[in-house]
Amino acid sequence: MLIGIDWGGTKIEGIALSPNGRELARIRQDTPRHDYDGCITAIGGIIARLEAECGTSGTVGIGIPGSLEPHSRLGKGASSTWLLGRPVERDLTERLGRALRVENDADCLAASEAVDGAGAGHNVVFAVILGSGAGAGIAVGGRAHHGPNNSAGEWGHNPLPFPTIHELPGTPCYCGKHGCLETWVSGRAFEADYARHTGTQTPARLVMEKVREGDRLAGLVWQRYIDRVARGLSVVVNTLDPDILVMGGGMSNVPELYEALPPRLAHYTFSTVFHTPIAQSRHGDSSGVRGAAWLWKDG
């Protein structure tokens, strides 16, 4: 049995998979926000409950909203700032009394979709999360790609390409820089952009309903959002030219994304042709947790 944990900023989810990918059990609970020890305890509890429910023990893979510094193995680059500088792997190993594997959550998404999701059959999968934050993961041959800094896929903390004068210097990001892509293309950024013009905080889902009803302001905010996503991804296509772009996170549930994005990307990329498939993640919100379980796929 393979157990995957998706340690998100708002929810911690656990799943038990059979070796062929069948879901055996699933548990979800709210994240004890800003409470690192509380999170470690919660993860231990979820694993114990999954194993009790299935009557067997499993391997454990954990997806975190950040990554581990390759040498010290301390948490870094995490929007859940209570993970920063913490020996996540060591603390969880001690708590669980067994070896485990910890990965960036976007890398888990990429691996999950590459193994048996929208990216199956594609060698280089670039998986994008447009959710409360914005991030990405890269899978090559079904496995998450790692570089010497454990920072592959930190797409969300590059500046917005082709900025207009109105987009400089951009808003501050938790990472310490200004105008990171995350501050432009996350679902939260889309809602904030709409709120700037209306003065009301409206969920992205409802803004999209206004777009469909022909609301001019909502339509303009949506077009500007798509243009920013396209600018952000054009650099990825120009640099890596992945075999497929797989979209995850809340904004990936917007069907209009898949019609609107390709022509804008074709406009911004260097190549005179644009053939890259853009697909919604198959496992949706479950991709992170499935990808975490697949960290032990081949033993």
180 is an interface residue for Zn ion by CB under 5 A:
yes
Which of 115, 139, 173, 233 is close enough to bind Zn ion by CB under 5 A?
A: 173
Q: Which is nearer to Zn ion, 152 or 260 (CB)?
A: 152
Stretch that binds Zn ion, among 49-57, 93-101, 180-188, 198-206 (CB under 5 A): 180-188
Match 């959710």 to its residue by tokens.
131
Handedness of CA 148, 149, 153, 158 (dihedral sign): negative
Least separation in angstroms between residue 192's CB and Zn ion is: 15
In 3D space, the residue among 75, 69, 16, 1 whose CA is nearest the CA of residue 40 turns out to be: 75
Nearer to Zn ion, 180 or 218 (CB): 180
Q: Choose one: 84-92, 106-114, 174-182, 236-244; the region binding Zn ion (CB under 5 A).
A: 174-182
- Does 245 bind Zn ion (CB under 5 A)? Our answer is no
Contact 43, 83 (CB under 8 A): no
If the CB atoms of residues 5 and 160 are measured against Zn ion, the closer one turns out to be 160
User: 9 or 58: whose CB is closer to Zn ion?
Assistant: 9
Contact with Zn ion (CB under 5 A) among 24, 175, 220, 266: 175
Which of 157, 210, 231, 264 is in the footprint of Zn ion by CB under 5 A?
A: 157
- The span from the CA of 179 to the CA of 292, in Å, is 30
Alpha helices (runs of H) in 12-100, residue ranges in sequence order: 36-54, 88-96
What span, in angstroms and rounded, lies between the C-alpha atoms of 251 and 195?
Answer: 17
**Shortest separation between residue 187's beta carbon and Zn ion, angstroms:** 16
In angstroms, rounded to a whole number, what is the distance separating the alpha carbons of residues 225 and 12? 29
CB 44 within 8 A of CB 36: no
Our finding on whether 84 is near Zn ion (CB under 5 A) is no
For the beta carbon of residue 20, count every other beta carbon within 10 angstroms.
Answer: 6
Q: Looking only at residues 187 through 226 of this chain, which bind Zn ion when binding is defined by CB under 5 A? A: none
In the complex, the residues that contact Zn ion under the rule CB under 5 A are 157, 173, 175, 177, 180
